[in-house]
Structure 1
């Protein structure tokens, strides 16, 4: 994801539609690197957030107000003195840079009209908010850059403002065909890197999009690209730039496994297989994208402890399981030792004293067989030794069969838990999983937070035909939807042979046969809430609830069934309604 020059261009377009002629009625600085401007334009009030946080510089309109510090910082006081009640004349983006310039008209101390500039630079760790005169003399900035800090540009009061040209990038909106081809040909390395390294405001994602639309391998070395290919590439590039200049935008967010992974001002063919959401403005896209991204980040942070517990136990169980399987393989020798014992007992009179081996015919197979012997023991004593080994391995196999079954059940259970941690979308979901791990004794009981209250409930969807569909988000909820919410004739769905949620479709009172579409949608939900949610197709088992059985003393959520049907589902549930 990139807050690139194209995103800034589309934002500036929207700002011009909403903020021109608006008056700045309030200026606040909630954070040391953030401004909040309240702007009234006709009957509308807008709040403009300008954040130059090095890790995530952003500019957007919001409805949310923020608490300001009691004592305003000096930069905030300076802006209030100069541009409070100022009128926004125009908003520009110079040369497709990640820079937004607000031209603000205000009255000076003598009452004369004058113009100042509020310049927002959204350039990663170099991001800044700079306040200048109309002729670009810096009045002040939210971050000072001294000569010690930078030899390229000083950002201090009374210095001349300019955008540093640290590379020879060209403006993508004004470059000609000849300039484009010459610039690419003079580059080194591979094609898509050459594009974003040659033109301002172009991100790696847009570079790959241009290559994809051109049908040219984005990783092709520049040295191997012909002039004809470059002309074709320019035509595709030029069409995109014309749409940008004409402000033809179609803002969109792309998702992977329900998590936002990319956004852009227009559709991207490189993400055509991803689930997407189109919104009316890039400002809405930015608000939604970063809010959802932040939610997922917080959930990941809070789930780290649970994930560590699950992964640690999973690794232990997998090592145990591998060792147990090797031990089980060793017990396959038991029958051989039994045969050795029987042959030595039957032919003991043929075994010479002090012999180290005995060769005879295996009366079970008719093949010749050689039996190793302890020369210090008699034939019968050697036979008894082999019978002892046989009985020991037989007992070991019987014990291992049960232990291996338990270990495999534990692995399956923990893999289920791991999947539910991945599917968690709220702190309540994590609390429910934690309670389950305490119940299953993977977390010590004294660690339990007595104040924690489980608010998480099974998910409730409404199918396109109005059927209620319930989904468990953890093993305890799986048992709830399957054995409490579901009736005997309701339909049950689950991803085949993999961790996932129990999905129940409630029949309507008329008990008519369900439409095929309901089966498809329930299958899609079962696929989405499973370990395979990132795949394009997932095999789903489904059956009547009455065919499910809960095994005594088994882990929560574990059921068996012997009667079922199967379908293949695409884990796309974007068209389904989730009941809050």
Structure 2
């Protein structure tokens, strides 16, 4: 179901009952299209979310605070300036439309009374939030600024006079009794379907709500007005928020719908219903937003390093041919008496290669001896560069391995883990830390994946490089078993046992293979060794370790095994 005007009506009542008379204590903007207000009311904190996302526009209470960006966006800062500490005087819906108004009273910098209004318009891709001066209806600011060139009906800019969006002349169904509803519907076109008659006559009725009302009208053999009145009455008096799952789709409704058949779950209030419904969508969007930025930067770095590796290989190939320059210098020293003035080249017998003829280029500006020295210098320069090139090549290969490892971790991350990866990339110099005010909140560390083997042994899987270092080098006991995909970017896996069974080792190896770059391969080699044999070289990047005395096995990663390990219980 969409968040239509009828759902907005009942949600407005749920919110208004709790926050009117409360004080706005904090304002955050966790996403570009979402605001969160912390409201202190009745000795309790309420977290009110207002989203103007094109597909998820809504208002609701949340159980806790959302993760917030390090720097607050401009609109959030404006709201903090004017609304933090304000007392909420009213929270209402305009008719049955998806437009909400929150009136607040506060005092300005001079201590004079100030009256503000927060307007929340929930209209799909045109959704917006406005801060308005109630004394003159002037827009202080809005979340989405739209110039007059893009909206000829009204100007959505600071300083403009606020106007309501254009609306059709539809009626508010909550404003009429049964007799009046029947009279209104009798005047509609009876050649149209019941759904169209409802949607074209009344505000706030979505297609899903219209289908439900029409279904009641037909199945219960009652008039359309009675079906509509019964629907509204049930929402007013017997609200039973319901999530209905049909196959891969889910629908949220104010009470069980007769037109929907599937697995149903009821909730104590509308906010908890919407929180459950949107939690996955919000997480996915936040992950895509964070991961998209990180992946774009990492793929650019990866391409840069791969291009560098090709150039280094080319330079190395040239350097390995340095011997020919030494030979030419030796031959010029031997045969310099044969060089005639004005010669640009000379052909001599190469006694280093069975006296085969070899042509040597000469510079007219140099003597034979100086030409020989030129070849010796070129030889020495190329010989010296080999060590440098090989060192650079090794560093570049390590860089490529590190970046590929990060990319693998990002592809299986949640928000907290992505924030940790971002912090790691800032520490490693790949990203610049944004300038923030003093007192910036630290990123809360995410937890490693936790599994249990068939015999109940706990197995931990690192989710990022910082976590891998923590698991392997600090938390794991020396006698525990450590596993990792062989020479492949992936997670560190720790089996919390000094003597695990072969079955447990196999299950842990499956985890190491699954949480690696070669997750979808038919066979993945996995090394395993006790933790005491693992060392971290000085100056190595996060997650990089060396080890000796390892054994290995070959594993085919299977998701059904991973799911089974997730559901296993610890041994008592």
Using the size of structure 2 for normalisation, the TM-score is 0.53
Give the match's secondary structure for 1:74: coil
Q: Does 1:497 align with 2:483?
A: no
Q: Check if 1:468 corresponds to 2:458.
A: yes
Match of 1:541 in 2: 527
Q: Distance in 1 between matches of 2:340 and 2:450?
A: 79
Partner of 2:331: 343
**Residue 484 of structure 1 corresponds to which residue in structure 2?**
474
What SS does the aligned partner of 2:10 have? strand
Q: Does the 8 Å contact 1:29/1:76 carry over to 2? A: no
Decide which moves more: 541-550 or 383-392.
541-550
Pick closer, same or farther for the CA change 1:115–1:423 going to 2, 3 Å.
Answer: farther
* Equivalent residue in structure 1 for 2:96, among 52, 67, 75: 75
Say if 2:8 and 2:93, in contact at 8 Å, map to a contact too: no
Q: Please say if 1:301 is aligned against 2:289.
A: yes
- Deviation, 1:503, is 0.8
Shift of 1:502: 0.7
What secondary structure, in the 3-state scheme, does the structure 2 residue paired with 1:402 have? helix
Task: Say if 2:565 is the partner of 1:567.
Answer: no
In the alignment, is residue 416 of structure 1 matched against residue 405 of structure 2? Answer: yes
Aligned counterparts of 2:264 and 2:506: Cα–Cα separation in 1: 34
Gapped regions of structure 1 (runs ≥ 5): 4-23, 32-52, 78-105, 118-129, 146-155, 163-248, 253-262, 266-279
2:515 matches 1:529: yes
- Aligned residue pair count: 366
1:545 Cα deviation after fit: 2.4
Aligned CA RMSD, in angstroms, stands at 4.9
Q: Structure 1 CA distance, aligned partners of 2:482 and 2:446?
A: 21
Choose from 343, 346, 358 the match for 1:369.
358
Task: State the distance in 1 between where 2:422 and 2:459 align.
Answer: 25
**Contact 2:9 / 2:93 at 8 angstroms: preserved in 1?**
no
What does residue 507 of structure 1 align with?
Answer: 497
> Could you give the per-residue CA deviations for residues 450-481 of structure 1, whole angstroms, max 9, x where no partner exists?
31233313222212211111111111111111
Residue 456 of structure 1 corresponds to which residue in structure 2? 446
User: Structure 1: how far apart are the matches of 2:398 and 2:196?
Assistant: 72
Q: Output the CA distance in 2 between the equivalents of 1:322 and 1:542.
A: 33
For residues 355-394 of structure 1, what are the structure 2 equivalents within 5 Å? Answer: 355-366=343-354, 367-394=356-383
| 1:460–1:425 CA distance, 2 compared to 1 (3 A) | same
Distance in structure 2 (CA, Å) of the matches to 1:534 and 1:570: 7
Q: How do residues 87-236 of structure 1 correspond to structure 2 at under 5 angstroms?
A: 139-142=201-204
Does residue 1:314 correspond to 2:302, yes or no? yes
Cα pair 2:510 2:558 within 8 Å, conserved: yes
Further displaced range: 473-482 or 360-369: 360-369
Alignment CA distance shift 1:319-1:452 (3 Å)? same
The corresponding residue for 1:28 is 10
Inter-partner Cα distance in structure 1 for 2:405 and 2:196? 63
How far the C-alpha of 1:443 sits from its partner, in A, is 3.1
Q: Distance in 2 between matches of 1:110 and 1:414?
A: 66
Q: Distance in 2 between matches of 1:538 and 1:384?
A: 54
Compute the displacement of 1:56 (Å).
Answer: 7.1
Is the contact between residue 133 and residue 139 of structure 1 (CA under 8 Å) also seen in structure 2?
Answer: no
Q: 1:54 to 1:424 in 2, by over 3 A?
A: closer
Residues 299-349 of structure 1 deviation map (CA, whole Å, 9 limit, x = unaligned) = 121334433443443343333333333222221231111111122223333
- CA distance in structure 2 between the aligned counterparts of 1:132 and 1:29, rounded to whole angstroms: 26
Structure-1 residue corresponding to 2:543: 557
Distance in 2, matches of 1:109 and 1:250, equals 33
Instruction: Work out the CA distance in 2 between the residues paired with 1:25 and 1:353.
Output: 99
Alpha-carbon separation, structure 1, partners of 2:7 and 2:284:
35
Maintained 8 Å contact 2:339/2:346: yes
Paired position in structure 2 for 1:404: 393
Residues 420-456 of structure 1: per-residue CA shift (max 9 Å, x gap): 22222133x1222222223223334564783123331
Equivalent-residue separation in structure 2 for 1:355 and 1:74 (angstroms): 100
Q: Distance in 2 between matches of 1:112 and 1:292?
A: 42
* Post-superposition offset of 1:390: 0.6
Scaled by the length of structure 1, what TM-score is found? Answer: 0.52
Is the 1:337–1:390 Cα contact (8 Å) retained in structure 2?
A: yes
Q: How far did 1:564 drift? A: 3.2
**2:379 counterpart SS class:** helix
5+ residue gaps, structure 2: 14-52, 64-89, 99-173, 186-191, 215-243, 251-261, 267-273
For 2:322, what is the secondary structure of its paired residue? helix
CA distance in 1, matches of 2:246, 2:554: 35
Instruction: Give the whole-Å Cα distance in 2 for the aligned partners of 1:133 and 1:401.
Output: 74
